[in-house]
Structure formats: C-alpha cells, structure tokens
Structure 1
Amino acid sequence: MVSATQLSSYIHGRLQQIKGTSYTSYFGNVSILAVGDFFQLPPISPPTPLCFPHEEPLKDLWNSLHNETKLASLNTETFTIKAEDVDQKGGRVIKVHETPHDTSRRKDDTSLVPYLKLAVGARTMLIANIDVPDGLCNGVSGTIKGIEFGNSKNMPQAIYVRFDSDKIGRKARSSQVIPPEYVSCVAIMPRKETFQLKGRNFSTTREQIPLKLAWAVTVHKVQGLTTEQAVISMKCFKESMAYVALSRVTTLEECI
C-alpha cells in the first residue's frame, strides 16, 4: 500500500546509490521481499503504474492483464466512449467539459471511467448496481451483442449485453423495447453519478456507460460468483487466494 514514487525513487533509487550499481540494476541488486497483492491492487497514486522512471529500460510492473489485446483481436469496430462531465456549484452549472476529468476509482468517488473502449463481441462486466433483485448488480459479466448510438455521435443510447446467466435482467428484458436481433440481451443505458474531486469546492455529474472490459478480472472482483469455466493464473497466489479463484467453478475439471 505504497506509491510508485516511494518504491522507485526512494527505495530503489537509494539502494542504487548505496550499492553503486547501474540504472538497470533494480533495487541495487538487493533482494526485496514485497508483501502485497500486485494482481489485485496496483500501487497507490501518485503515480501509477509502478515503473522505474530512468533512461532505459522503463519497466512497467503493473499492466492490465490482457483485455486490450483481446479487444484488438476482435474483427469488429472499437468505440471509445467519452464521459460527459458537468461541474456544478450550489445547484448551478458552472462548466460543461469537452474533455472529462482525469479520474480513478482509488482517488475519486465514482466508478464511471472518463474513457471506455468497447466493441461488439467484447467480454464485459457491469460496474454499478442497477437492479439488484433482478441480478443487474456490480460484478455480473456477459458479452456485448450490439451498440446503438441513436442520435448521439459519442454517447451510445444502449449497449446490448447478453449476460452469462439468463436469470440476470429477466425483469428488465420484459419491460425494455429490445430489437429482435438482441432478444436475449439487456439494454444497458448511460448512467449518471455525482462526485467531488479532491481539493475542489464544486461537484461533478458524470454520464457514462457503467461497463468495463472483462476477459480478465481480478480474484477480488469475482468473489462470490460461480462460473461454468475459468482460466486461472496461479502466479504469486497464496493458498487462500488460490482457493477463492478455484472455487469460482463447481468442479475442478472446469479449471484450465
């Protein structure tokens, strides 16, 4: 639970000075015991990701699994959805932003991201509680079957998601007007959240699609879920974490 600056500039840099090693010798060639879970939690800001800011090589020790790679491999158009941010103070609009605020879940009280990349065929996860009794809650996953923009060029009118379980969104499907080609899907519409940036005396209302890419997700995010099949990386797992990952499926034969 320390920042990248603490690790790279203070600990890594000071050990290099003490040992008189080159820039390519991480932590001055001293063995470091790091206690933590880099597969669930990136270093706290500022800054992220965890990297060593010297000439060469620039080694990033935290990266997003393989979601970006899988998205690029789809033979469908990728859309970048830009959030719409409106600053307000005392109930009065003070600024409508062309470019959304740079936010993150760790430092700002919103789960909606400034920019969201999606495509038809992408694995996705819902990141908001829309209707918990209907199963539309934070953490449920599915596949994007359609993206409808309507009259807007930037913000989709609806993202049609076929969730992994037919039980999810059953009530929503009965009440929504769904095109015939997406009859088994749930329409996920833009959602608004109001939050306050640190050090600011105004609030911001953000409109964005409450989804994220989910070919790969953390063990923390899938706790409590049951899936028919899972591909699990056991790198650096403690016994308790391995148990959480493996127990997402009902039989060991479903693990790859």
Structure 2
Amino acid sequence: MRFFTLGIAVATYRNSGTKGYSSKPSNGFYTKYKNKDKTTTEKKQRRTKIPWTEEQKSVLSAVAQGSSVFITGSAGTGKTELLMEVVKLLRKLHTRSKVFVTSSTGVSSFAIKGQTLHSFIGVYDTNNCSPENLLDMIMGKKRAISRWEKAGSLVIDEISMVDAKLFDGLEFVARKLKGVDETWGGIQLVVAGDFCQLPPVNQNSKYVSYAFEADCWNDSFDLQIELTKIFRQSDSQFIELLQAIRRGQTDHPDLVLLENYCSKTKCDPSAVHLFSLNKDVKRVNEERLKTLNKDVVVYRAVDSGDDHRKDHWKKQFEHGIAPDVVTICEGARVMLVKNLHTWKGLVNGATGTVVGFVEATGVADVCSDEWLPIVKFDLGKVLTIEPVEWHVRDGDEIVARRKQIPLILAWALSIHKCQGLTLDKAKISLSQAFGCGIVYTALSRVKCLDDLHLSGFQRSLIQADQRVSQFYRRLALQHNSRDLDNSCIESKDSSSNTTSHTEKPDMAGNICNFSLSVWVARHLKRS
C-alpha cells in the first residue's frame, strides 16, 4: 500500500476547494389535481452546502489527487453522502463515461444512482468462482469487456457483502482486461462500507470471507479511513451502547436498557416494524392493509429499456426497492423510497400516512383510475406523490427506466432492506434474527432509544466476527503510527490557504468522536 499522509490530504482539499378495486376511493377526500409550475422561490431553493468534517475533507482531497480510498465507519456517519460527492469529483477527473458506480445490493445501487456490482461485471453467479473462471465468463460478454477497458475509476458501495474471493477476482480481471501490470490495472478504486453490518452471503458454503481478507486488499488503497463523526444519533450513551453491540460485546452494562425496552407495553402505532424475514414483512403489511377496510388504488410500474438486455435490467429492478406493484388506500402507512425534496426532509426513508387521493391527468399508464395519493408525512409536510423514474445504468448510459410512485407500505420492513435508512421510530422483532451484524444494523436505524420498541431480544443474538474486530484493530494501529488520535485531525490554522502540499501541517485539538477501531484496540489492550 502506498503511504499516504492524512495531514497533507486535509491541506490539499482546503486549497482546492385487499378490498375490491374502485375507480374512486370511497372514504377519503379527493380533489381535482392540477399541475402547477413551481414557484420562483422553490425553483431557486438549493440544497444547503454540507459542512464536511476534516475526515471527509481528507477523503475528498485524496480522491482529487487520484488516490484509491477505502471509507468505513459506523452507521450514520455519512458514508453515502460522502460517496455521492466523491462520484462528482471522479467524473471531473476521468469524465463521466469512465466512472462506474456500483454497489453489492440492488437497494443501495439505486441510492447512489449506480448499478449492482454483478451487473457491472456481467456475471450474476460468482459464488466460489476462481479469478481465472471469472475472467473466462466475462470474456464472452462484449459489453462487460468494454466497461473494464474504459474504466478510469470504479466505486463499490456496501463492501461488507462482497467476499474476498470475488474481490481478488475482480482485481485479477481488471489487470488482465486493462493490460496494465499494476494493482487493479491502474483503475482508481473507491470502496465504502461497514464490515460490522451485514456480511457476505455464500449459498454454496457456510464459511464467509470478507473483502479485507483478499490478497490484494492492502495494495488496493492509498488511504483507508474510518469516519468517526456520527450524525444519526446524538445521545452519547446510546452511541456507546451501539458500538458495544457492533463490537459483539455481550457483557456491556448498558445492555440492560435494551432488556427494559423489551418490557415496554406501548408502542407508537406509527413505528415501522422491522423483521429479519421477508415473509413476516409481507404478512404484516397485507394484514394491516386489509384491516383498514377501504377501497384500494393500485399502481403498476411502467418499464422501458433495451430489449436485448431485458433480463439484465429486470433483475436490477427486482432486487432494488423500486416496486413493481404498489397497493395502498386511505390510512395506509407508507414510506418514501426516493429522495424528493431533501431540504424539506422528504427523503428516502421518510414515513407518513395516506390521507386521501387527487384526480390527476397523464398518469393512466401507472394508475388506470388516474388517482395520486396525498401523504401526510410524520414530520408535518403534506404532499401529493407523483410518479418518478428509476434508472438502470451501464456506466454512464441509462439502459432501462421504471416509472412508478415512490412509495411502499411501511407498517413493516426487512432489516436488510432498511440498511442505510434513518427511521424516526421503529419496532424491532429479533426473534428470528441470525448472523453477525444484524442486531447492530437494526438498532442503529433509529436516532434515540426513546424511539425504539424491542421484542425477542437476547444477548446471545449480539454477534460480531473476530476477524472484523481484528481488522479494525489493525486499522487503529495504522492510524496511531501516523500520530493520529481517533482517526481525526484539525489543522492548527484551519483558515490558512497557503499550507504546502509537501509539508505536514501542525496538529492541534481532536474532534471528540467515536472510532470503533480505536475503541477495539484500547479494549483489547485492557483485556
């Protein structure tokens, strides 16, 4: 791994800147919907500029210099927001057509406006596939070969669900198809994810290997950094408790708090119910919809795309969160599955209740009854939800579109599907939970303990893979060797714009944040 000084990176970034269907809902209010132009004020509204932390600036600086970077950190540390900014930088460096944005899951690939990793590869079954076999399979796919040959940068999100064999295989393929005897064939690599969350799934083997166990892992990156500033939660006790669960510590004294929350008899009816199994999610949503005893309105997705690659993009939509059919009625609890107005808080994960419908024109392709739902969101906003588009991409090219209303029923969700979301309130059933990281992934969705209702919690469900803990310990040791504390630094004179790129700036003061790698290292040292 080429040595990269974090202090220089910070300085550089500073300098560079089910009832019958009805034609009209019977028990709701409805009105004639008119398409109005956005007001001048709304048109001018822009997203507030994000105040990046020093850690995030160091990542952006490293990327701007052409370095390959691994970004990790707890849930709620802003990895996705940072990754979106990184993609903008990469497109300036390499041009849009040479930057390929991917993720290990369909849900997260839509969140970052990319494609699934397997879609980029052109091979969907990579279990126990050797690098040579992987290359052989790709060699029969002209478009896949073209993507590799053209790639100047590759982004991979949710790396925790990519195993070591696939990671090594991809690096091998990159070298061979780029024809450059250099790690990843000279491709600038940006990888993000939290190994303490959901692990890789290998249906053909009980053994799980993590991407960081790949032979090429350390040689793949100039900078590996853990983001420590947690934005989702602000309660230090809750943060400490979540980190103990993330670490797999079953004897933490604050775990008694979770056991107390299991005894809570009242649960906010607006809370999203999280389950480990999809069948439980489907059952609860269907039961709750039926109990409303209201006429339902059905929305069916309209797909279009390259017919020659229909199997390819159909799989993308199936594994994503863009629904094929949405069935709702007045009183239904729903969730946004796409960012609409970020400055108003109407983002992916925002929950609300359908309070009525409006008659609309131009939507008969999605809803034959030509009705659009009116949703009152829990944050107080009321909005008529119009159809939007999801795209399946092949690099920068849009190969398919899906038009649908961006809502799903939200009485219940699966823990896997909610990874990356922030929920205002959650009821979590853990009786069927299994595997490392799932308890942490579920609990870390909420902002505070008071918004949480638990059932089925047992300390034995808290599991963390020791290999993951050791990885974060090594990460801490690397940071300590660079005289960094908590992986975060501040320049002594943050207002200066004349810091040399070849001189390490003076360091003073540390942001008081939570670093799992440092915490693990200290905990293991004491024990």
CA offset digits 1:199-247 (Å, max 9, x no partner): xxx933322101000001133417553535x432121336854355456
Note the C-alpha offset of 1:186.
Answer: 1.2
Aligned counterpart in structure 2 of residue 158 of structure 1, from 351, 372, 393:
372
Q: Quote the Cα distance in structure 1 between the aligned partners of 2:359 and 2:373.
A: 9
Pairing 1:118-137 to 2, within 5 Å after superposition: 118-137=328-347
- Partner residue of 1:214? 410
Larger Rg: 2
Note the C-alpha offset of 1:76.
Answer: 1.1
Tell me the amino acid that sits aligned with residue 115 of structure 1. Answer: V
TM-score w.r.t. length of structure 2: 0.28
Q: Quote the Cα distance in structure 1 between the aligned partners of 2:207 and 2:281.
A: 19
Q: Does 2:382 correspond to 1:195?
A: no
- Partner residue of 2:285? 67
Greater RCO between the two (CA within 8 Å, min separation 6)?
A: 2
SS at match of 1:159: strand
Q: Does 2:404 correspond to 1:186?
A: no
Note the C-alpha offset of 1:249.
Answer: 6.2
Q: Does 2:423 correspond to 1:205?
A: no
Note the C-alpha offset of 1:107.
Answer: 5.3
- Partner residue of 2:349? 139
- Partner residue of 2:300? 82
Structure having the higher helix fraction is 2
- Partner residue of 1:250? 448
Q: Quote the Cα distance in structure 2 between the aligned partners of 1:204 and 1:213.
A: 25
Tell me the amino acid that sits aligned with residue 414 of structure 2. Answer: T
Tell me the amino acid that sits aligned with residue 400 of structure 2. Answer: T
Size of the alignment, in residue pairs?
175
Name the % identity. 26
Q: Quote the Cα distance in structure 2 between the aligned partners of 1:226 and 1:62.
A: 19
Evaluate the alpha carbon distance shift between residue 80 and residue 235 of structure 1 in structure 2; reply closer, same or farther with a 3 A threshold: same
- 1:104–1:113 Cα contact (<8 Å) kept: no
Q: Quote the Cα distance in structure 2 between the aligned partners of 1:147 and 1:227.
A: 25
Evaluate the alpha carbon distance shift between residue 215 and residue 87 of structure 1 in structure 2; reply closer, same or farther with a 3 A threshold: same
Which runs of 5 or more residues in structure 1 are unaligned? 7-32, 43-60, 90-101, 170-184
RMSD: 4.2
Note the C-alpha offset of 1:193.
Answer: 2.7
SS at match of 1:217: strand
Evaluate the alpha carbon distance shift between residue 35 and residue 253 of structure 1 in structure 2; reply closer, same or farther with a 3 A threshold: farther
Q: Quote the Cα distance in structure 2 between the aligned partners of 1:224 and 1:63.
A: 17
Q: Quote the Cα distance in structure 1 between the aligned partners of 2:429 and 2:353.
A: 22
Note the C-alpha offset of 1:140.
Answer: 1.0
- Partner residue of 1:174? none
- 1:81–1:116 Cα contact (<8 Å) kept: yes
- 1:246–1:252 Cα contact (<8 Å) kept: no
Q: Quote the Cα distance in structure 2 between the aligned partners of 1:196 and 1:251.
A: 39
Q: Quote the Cα distance in structure 2 between the aligned partners of 1:157 and 1:234.
A: 38
Pairing 1:79-118 to 2, within 5 Å after superposition: 79-87=297-305, 103=314, 105=316, 111-118=321-328
Q: Quote the Cα distance in structure 1 between the aligned partners of 2:451 and 2:338.
A: 32
Q: Quote the Cα distance in structure 2 between the aligned partners of 1:112 and 1:216.
A: 16
TM-score w.r.t. length of structure 1: 0.53
Q: Quote the Cα distance in structure 2 between the aligned partners of 1:253 and 1:130.
A: 24
- 1:196–1:204 Cα contact (<8 Å) kept: yes
Tell me the amino acid that sits aligned with residue 216 of structure 1. Answer: A
SS at match of 1:66: helix
Q: Quote the Cα distance in structure 1 between the aligned partners of 2:391 and 2:423.
A: 32
Evaluate the alpha carbon distance shift between residue 233 and residue 119 of structure 1 in structure 2; reply closer, same or farther with a 3 A threshold: same
